[in-house]
Structure 1
Amino acid sequence: MPIVNIHIMEGRSAEQVKSLIARVTETVADELNSPLEKIRVLVTEVPKTHWGIGGTPASEIISKDRSNK
């Protein structure tokens, strides 16, 4: 049973996550010749305060980017 674990930064809509799950499942099924019902996709949404980019929380980087516009 293939298990795919995806970590993404919070902020995507439920529809985007649903589409991601469906497309990843289809791709894994095609590539591994595995039945769809045997594939598990786990999506973990990480808060921006817990996602580090170059030693800085993404929440700080994003807020700086927004204030510069």
Structure 2
Amino acid sequence: MPFAQIYLMEGRTEEQKRAVIEKVSAALVEAVGAPIANVRVWITEVPKENWGIAGVTAKDLGR
């Protein structure tokens, strides 16, 4: 059973997250030949103040 865990900064729309789930699932089906029913995708949203880029939070960078 393929399992993909995706980390994203908070702020994506529900539609965008749906698209990520759909496309990652399709990629796993194609890459490993797993049945779509066995694919799992988990999205973890991280607050921008908890995401660091080059020593600065994403929030402070205006991301």
> Is the TM value for this pair above 0.5?
yes
The amino acid across from 2:42 in the alignment is L
State TM-score, norm by structure 2: 0.96
Aligned residues with identical type, % of pairs: 38
Q: How far apart, CA to CA, are the structure 1 residues paired with 2:14 and 2:39? A: 20
Name stretches of at least 5 consecutive residues in structure 1 with no aligned partner: 64-69
Matched residue, 1:54: 54
The amino acid across from 1:27 in the alignment is A
Name stretches of at least 5 consecutive residues in structure 2 with no aligned partner: none
State TM-score, norm by structure 1: 0.88
* Stretches (4+) displaced over 6 A: none
Give RMSD over aligned pairs.
Answer: 1.0
More helix by share: 1
Matched residue, 1:31: 31
Matched residue, 2:22: 22
Q: Which has the larger radius of gyration?
A: 1
Deviation of 1:61 (Å): 0.5
1:60 counterpart SS class: coil
Residue deviations 1:11-61 (CA, integer Å, cap 9, x gap): 110000001100100010011000001010000010000000011110000
Matched residue pairs, number?
Answer: 63
